[in-house]
Structure 1
Amino acid sequence: MSDILTAAVAALNEKIDGGFAAGTAKFVIADEGSIIVDADGARASDDDADVTLTADVETFQGMIEGEVNPTAAFMQGKLTVDGDMGMAMQLGSALA
């Protein structure tokens, strides 16, 4: 696992302490890999998910650090969402 994925998993687990009960979400970080977030927390994985969010490293790090608003990133085309949009919005709120 890359250093970026390792750091991202740790940061996500801090943000969603106790897991994400709304379902299963996947973050695809371009050229790095995938992270699954579910009721068990975050882990590096490419499993199937209810919603998949795809972004480059800079956008993803900005969202985790609170510097990039996920909704704004989506509207600007920096974040793509495939699947349950409502779940994506819940995850965005959980990361804020």
Structure 2
Amino acid sequence: MSDVINEAVKLLSEKLDGTEVGGTVKFDIEGEGSVMVDDAGARAGDEDADVTLSADAETFAGIMSGDINPTSAFMSGGLKVDGDMGMAMKLASALA
């Protein structure tokens, strides 16, 4: 597993601690792998999900650090969303 995925699991666990996801979310980081998030927490994995958020490693790092707003990243095409848009919006507010 890549260092990027390990760091993503750690950061998502911290940022979403106490957040009820209400389903499954996959963060697909181009060229690195995927992180699954559900009410049990974050873990490395590549499974079917209610919503998949795809971005390159730079965009994902910017979202995690707070330098990039998830909604702005989506509007500019840097973040792609496939699936439950409501769940994606809920996550965007938790990550911002």
Instruction: State whether TM-score is above 0.5.
Output: yes
Q: List structure 1 segments (4+ residues) > 3 angstroms apart after TM superposition.
A: none
Q: Give 3-state SS (helix, strand or coil) of 1:48's partner.
A: coil
Distance 1:11 1:21 in 2: 16
1:70 aligns with 2:70: yes
Point out where structure 2 has 5 or more consecutive residues left out of the alignment. Answer: none
Conservation of the 8 A alpha-carbon contact between 1:50 and 1:83: yes
Conservation of the 8 A alpha-carbon contact between 1:19 and 1:41: no
1:38 is matched with 38
Point out where structure 1 has 5 or more consecutive residues left out of the alignment. Answer: none
- Supply the AA of the counterpart residue of 1:22: G
Q: Aligned residue pairs: how many?
A: 96
2:55 is matched with 55
1:80 aligns with 2:80: yes
Q: Give 3-state SS (helix, strand or coil) of 1:7's partner.
A: helix
Distance 1:20 1:49 in 2: 15
- Supply the AA of the counterpart residue of 2:33: G
2:10 is matched with 10
Distance 1:65 1:19 in 2: 18
Same amino acid, percent of matched pairs: 62
Distance 1:73 1:17 in 2: 23
TM-score, normalised relative to structure 2: 0.95
Q: CA RMSD in A?
A: 1.0
Distance 1:19 1:70 in 2: 17
Deviation at 1:94, TM superposition (A): 1.1
